[in-house]
Amino acid sequence: MEVDFWDVPEDAQRHMRQLSELRDEVGFWRDLSRRAVDANELAALAGLEGDDAVLADVAAEADEIARTLDQAEFQLLLPNKHDRANAILAIHAGAGGTEAQDWASMLQRMYLRWIERRGFKGEIMDMLPGDEAGIKRVMISVEGKYAYGYLQSEKGVHRLVRISPFDAAKRRHTSFVLVEVWPDLEEDIEIDIKPEDIRMEVYRASSAGGQHMQKNSTAVRLIHIPTGLIATCENERSQAQNREYAMKILRARLYEAEKAKQDEEQSRLKGEHVDAGWGNQIRSYVLHPYNMVKDLRTDYETGNTAAVLDGDLDAFIEAYLKWAMGST
C-alpha cells in the first residue's frame, strides 16, 4: 500500500470497498469448490459402506451446491461495469389521474417487496402523493449487490388492465406508469459535474396531499445548464439533505443520458432502428377479464398475478437478462 493512500479518504474507502468485493468473490468460489470436493469424497465413502443416510445428506448438499452455482451463473449475465452498483428506482404515474396514481403505488409496493425478498435495503428518497389516492411519483434508493444489474430489466412503461375500484360503474380501465432505473454512481471522475453548470432553486415543499406547506424553503431543484436535465427532492426536512439526494439523482440522469447516446451511436453504426424515448411499453399486467402478466420483450408470462404484484419478479428479470444477452 502506497504511503499517500489515505491522503484522499473518499478514494481510499472506494478502493477498500472494491478490494473487499474481490476478496468476497474469490472466497465464494473457493468455498463452493471445497464443498463440491468434500461432497464427492463423502459420497464415495458412503457408497463403499452402503450408508443410505449419509448418501441422502450428500444428495441434499449437491442440490444446494447446484442452486448456488445456478445463481452465480445468473450473475454472469451482468457483465457491465455498473451492474454491481446500487440503484435509483423512479416510478411516475402516467395520464389517468387517480387510476394511474393508484397503479403507481401498486408498483411501489411490488418493488419494495422484491427489495425485501432479495435482502436489499430500500429507502424512499422523494415522493409526491396522489391527489386522492396512490402516488404521482416516487424515487427509491436500492442498496444491494447487483441492484442495478437486476433492476435495469424494469425500465419502461408498465400497463395495467383491471376493473377500476374508483369507477362506480365497475368499468374496465387501462393505466400506464413509467419506471426509470439508474446506477447509483460513486462520486468519482466518471461523471464530471462542474459547479458553474448547476443552478439550484429552493422552494417550500408540500406535505402529503398538498394541503399544507412547510414554513421554510427546504425543497431543492437542480438544473444542469448544458443539458437541461432537472433533479428535484423535497422529501427531507433539511435543505442540505435534499440537495445531496437531488445531486445523486442528477448524476444518475447524466450517466443514463450519456449511455443512451453511446447505445444509439452503436446501433446506428450497426444499421439498427433506434428509439431513444422512454415510451416503450415493456410489460402488461391484466387483472380482468383474465389474470396474466406478460413481458412484451421476452414473451415470458405467468397467470399468478398476485405473486408478481407481491414482488415475485426474479423469473421476469432472468428472462430479460438472457434475452438482452442474446440480442447484443
Contacts 24+ apart (CB under 8 A), 296-300: 297/323, 298/322, 298/323
The pLDDT assigned to 48 comes to: 81
Average pLDDT of the residues in 180-208: 76
Q: Are 164 and 93 in contact (CB under 8 A)?
A: no
Of residues 38 and 79, the one with the higher pLDDT is 38
Percent of the chain at pLDDT exceeding 70 = 85
* CA atoms of 245 and 241, how far apart (whole Å): 6
Whether residue 289 is preceded by a cis peptide bond, meaning omega within 30 degrees of 0, is yes
Residues 317 and 293 in one domain: yes
Residues 134 and 161 in one domain: yes
Residue 65, domain extent: 6-75
Helix (H, G, I), strand (E, B) or coil at 46: helix
| Count of structural domains within the chain | 3
Average pLDDT of the residues in 269-278: 43
Determine, yes or no, domain membership for 117. Answer: yes
Residues 141 and 199 in one domain: no
* CA atoms of 103 and 196, how far apart (whole Å): 39
Tell me, what CATH number does 220's domain have? 3.30.160.20
| β-bridge mates for residue 177, sequence order | 93, 158
The pLDDT assigned to 116 comes to: 97
Cell 393505466 belongs to which residue? 175
Instruction: Read off the pLDDT of residues 115-159 as tens digits, 9 standing for 90 and up.
Output: 999 999 999 988 999 988 999 999 999 999 899 999 999 999 999
The pLDDT assigned to 208 comes to: 45
The pLDDT assigned to 7 comes to: 67
Residues 295 and 162 in one domain: yes
Average pLDDT of the residues in 238-264: 84
* CA atoms of 214 and 34, how far apart (whole Å): 59
The pLDDT assigned to 137 comes to: 94
Helix (H, G, I), strand (E, B) or coil at 126: strand
Residues 207 and 231 in one domain: yes
Lowest-pLDDT range, 5-14, 211-220, 276-285?
Answer: 211-220
Q: Which of 257, 228, 229, 233 shows the shortest CA–CA distance to 245?
A: 233
Phi/psi at 297 (5° precision): -90, -45
Model confidence at 205: pLDDT above 90: no
Q: Copy the grid coordinates of residue 175.
A: 393505466
19-28, 270-279, 315-324: which has the highest mean pLDDT? 315-324
Instruction: Read off the pLDDT of residues 61-75 as tens digits, 9 standing for 90 and up.
Output: 998 998 888 777 767
Residues 174 and 302 in one domain: yes
Tell me, what CATH number does 149's domain have? 3.30.70.1660
Q: Are 167 and 193 in contact (CB under 8 A)?
A: no
For the whole model, what pTM was predicted? 0.71
